[in-house]
């Protein structure tokens, strides 16, 4: 009997490696997490979790390294950003996330509602994480380029 090939989701074909810029890896994480919460296919969900895990694993050892000089310009702005990345779920969602994590940690398993809430938490956390990774860090001022934290402190 012949096996009918299934078409893979386009996001599973996105190439990346240890040499991929951290801003691009963060964007990939956002895209994978968004697809994860929109998917109903368990196989695709598992594959997307694997892709997120791989991206985060590649990012983790580089988080405390200096930003490469070729990325400095893309993370430098002329005016302070109007918004900064924030993790601000509504109180009901935050409570659901906490309950879902507590239930999972207690070994109660994954009920469909719990899986949904954990997927949403993962999505929120990854979006926050990615926004932090891609946020500008420097501001051009009359006195030269300064860290944004120095200007806003």
Q: Where are the domains of the chain?
A: 18-64+75-152
- pTM, rounded to two decimals: 0.75
Q: pLDDT tens-digit profile of 43-89?
A: 999 999 999 999 999 999 999 999 999 999 999 999 999 888 888 88
Q: pLDDT tens-digit profile of 94-138?
A: 888 888 888 887 776 666 777 788 888 888 888 899 998 899 999
Q: Of 109, 147, 129, 140, nearest to 22 (Cα)?
A: 129
């Amino acid at each position: 009997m012949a096996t009918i090939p299934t078409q893979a989701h386009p996001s599973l074909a996105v190439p990346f490696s240890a040499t991929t810029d951290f801003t691009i890896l963060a964007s990939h994480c956002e895209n994978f997490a968004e697809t994860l919460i929109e998917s109903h296919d368990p196989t695709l969900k598992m594959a997307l979790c694997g892709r997120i895990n791989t991206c985060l694993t590649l990012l983790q050892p580089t988080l405390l390294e200096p930003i490469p000089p070729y990325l400095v310009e893309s993370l430098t702005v002329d005016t302070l950003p109007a918004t900064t990345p924030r993790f601000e779920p509504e109180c009901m969602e935050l409570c659901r996330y906490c309950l879902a994590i507590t239930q999972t940690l207690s070994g109660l398993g994954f009920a469909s509602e719990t899986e949904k809430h954990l997927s949403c938490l993962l999505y929120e956390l990854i979006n926050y994480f990615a926004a932090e990774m891609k946020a500008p860090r420097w501001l051009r001022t009359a006195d030269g380029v300064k860290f944004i934290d120095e200007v806003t402190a």
